[in-house]
Amino acid sequence: MISVIVLEPEIAGNIGAISRVMKNFGFNRLVLVNPRCDHLGDEARRRAKHSQDVLENAEVLDFFVADDYDYLIATTAKLGTDYNIPRSPLTPVEMTRKIKNISERKSIGIVIGREGYGMFNEEIAKCDFIVTIPATDSYGTLNISHALTVLLYELYKDVGAANILRKITPIGRSEKEQIIKMFDDVFDFMQWETVEKRETQEKLWKRIVGKAMLTKREAYGVMGLLRKVMNLQEMKNGVAVKYSSKRSKKSSKSVVERVAKKSPKGLITKGALPKRGLTKASAKKGAVPRRLAAKPIAKKSSKSSESAEKTSKGYSKPAAKKSSKGLITKGASPGND
């Protein structure tokens, strides 16, 4: 059981803020030693917000009683040297490690010093050890409620992290394998200069998915995006792909049945459809690829029209020459007889 002991607080707002931060991190035993203000006043209640129960149940003492606790932890911003043994501090992390080794049945008190001048040496001497929060040398003193926030957070963070993870379900091996498989399907539609470059991408994305520690919702979002990329590539390449959402008991895997022929590494092979041109449907009908379709005939120039006109008037290109034996040779023109 951990109690928070505040020595002679002077500002009611600080008491309210301490009550609030204790409620935030699951602590409820507040002890006020010789308070110099009204801890149930309006200012304290305003600052306490929804921790009125901690404020109202606070124990008020006239003086500090160290014998009521099995272990006491002092807090201070004033550090000593190696020779000042009582003021040799621990960090909040080190304090947390020590407290975890103490049985929950033992009573532990965290002592918060005064707003103005902290704890006296006599009070520190009654404690088992002191803890300090690392801060800048130019102004290393924190407000008492802020300092307590850091300490209680360190004590609670492991429990709090476990509570957070209870509400978030991370993906398992089956979902990771499904994402990697879908990446491989996307890579199949890409052209690679070398097999090694594709293998590098496969290793890279496998590592990224493993490090991401995706939740199930995030994983399904990634799968949905990869499906859309596949659909776009199929529409572009003219490849028919059937998707079905068959789910086994162990995992939810989308079954992809490919109709098009492709190589195992995404390289173009004999019999595979070209990326542009004929689609599978048009190839069956004997259609002509778009890039091979006949282009419209351009208009004839003036020179071509003149040559056509001369030809119509009886002019013709030089015929083959006639040899001495009556054979027609290249360049000869026919006689008039």
Q: Could you tell me if residue 298 is inside a domain?
A: no
In terms of DSSP H, where are the helices of the chain? 12-24, 42-48, 52-56, 92-100, 121-125, 144-167, 173-188, 195-212, 216-237, 280-285, 302-312
Same domain? For 191 and 265 the reply is yes
- Looking at residue 235, its pLDDT comes to 83
Q: How confident is the model at residue 227 (pLDDT cuts 50, 70, 90)?
A: very high
In the predicted structure, residue 143 carries a pLDDT above the cut 90? yes
SS3 of 105, please?
coil
| The pLDDT of residue 77 is above 80 | yes
Nearest to 155 by CA among 224, 73, 83, 217: 73
Local structure of residue 143 (DSSP, 8 states): P
pLDDT band with cut points at 50, 70 and 90 for residue 291: very low
What is the residue-wise DSSP string for 234-299? HHHHT--EEEE----SS----EEEE-S---TTS---TTPPPSSS--HHHHHHTPPPGGGSPPPPPP
Tell me which of 202 and 324 has the higher pLDDT.
Answer: 202
Q: Are residues 155 and 50 in the same domain?
A: yes
- Contact (Cβ atoms closer than 8 angstroms) between residue 253 and residue 246: yes
| Together in a domain, 212 and 268 | yes
Please compute the mean of the pLDDT values over residues 318-326 and round it to a whole number: 49
Q: Are residues 79 and 178 in the same domain?
A: no
152 and 57 in a single domain? The answer is yes
280 vs 286: CA distance, rounded Å:
10
Domain identity same for 150 and 184:
no
For residues 293-305, give the mean pLDDT. 49
Instruction: Count CB neighbours of 142 within 10 A.
Output: 16
Q: What is the identity of the amino acid at 331?
A: G
Domain end among 167, 189, 208:
167
pLDDT of residue 78: 79
**Whether residues 161 and 203 fall in one domain:** no
Report the pLDDT value the prediction gives residue 187, as an integer from 0 to 100.
92
Average pLDDT over residues 229-250: 61
Give the confidence band of 189 by pLDDT, cuts at 50, 70, 90: confident
- The proportion of the chain whose per-residue pLDDT surpasses 90, expressed as a percent, equals 42
What angle in degrees, to the nearest 10, is found between the helix axes of 173-188 and 216-237? 20
Find the radius of gyration of the CA atoms of the chain: 43
From residue 226, alpha-carbon distances to 63, 179, 191, 219, 326 in Å are 68, 8, 17, 11, 78
Q: Are residues 15 and 72 in the same domain?
A: yes
Question: Residue 41 sits in which domain range?
Answer: 2-167
pLDDT band at 258 (very low <50, low <70, confident <90, very high): very low
Collapse the DSSP code of 273 into the 3-class scheme (helix H, G, I; strand E, B; otherwise coil) and give the result.
Answer: coil
Tokens matching residue 116: 């103005």
What mean pLDDT comes out for the span 133-156? 92
Q: Is 283 a member of any domain? A: no
Decide if 233 contacts 159 (C-beta within 8 A).
no
- Please, which pLDDT band fits residue 83 given cuts at 50, 70 and 90? low
The structure tokens listed for 6 are 């505040």
Average pLDDT over every residue of 308-332: 49
Is 332 within a domain? Answer: no
Q: Do 97 and 236 belong together in one domain?
A: no
Q: Which residues pair with 331 in a beta bridge?
A: none
Contact 51, 45 (CB under 8 A): no
Per-residue pLDDT, averaged over 123-127, amounts to 90
Together in a domain, 67 and 141: yes
Give pLDDT, residue 334: 52
* Distance between CA atoms of residues 112 and 4, nearest Å: 7
- Type of residue at 41: G
333: in domain:
no
Residues 76 and 152 placed together within one structural domain of the fold: yes
Residue 232 covered by a domain: yes
Look at residue 212 and tell me whether its pLDDT is greater than 60: yes
Residue the block writes with tokens 């009550």: 19
Number of compact structural domains in the chain: 2
Among 258, 275, 292, the domain-final residue is 275
Instruction: For residues 76-93, give the mean pLDDT.
Output: 74
Q: What is the predicted pLDDT for the residue at 162?
A: 63
CATH code, domain carrying 44: 3.40.1280.10
**Residue after which a domain boundary falls, among 232, 257, 275:** 275
Residues 174-196 have a mean pLDDT of 92
Residue 160, classed as helix, strand or coil, is: helix
pLDDT at 131 over 60: yes
Mean pLDDT, the chain, integer: 76
Same domain flag for 139 and 23: yes
Q: What is the pLDDT of residue 175?
A: 92
Phi, psi at residue 11, to the nearest 5°?
A: -115, 120
User: Does residue 295 belong to any structural domain of this protein?
Assistant: no
Q: Is residue 296, in this structure, part of any structural domain at all?
A: no
> Is 331 among the domain residues?
no
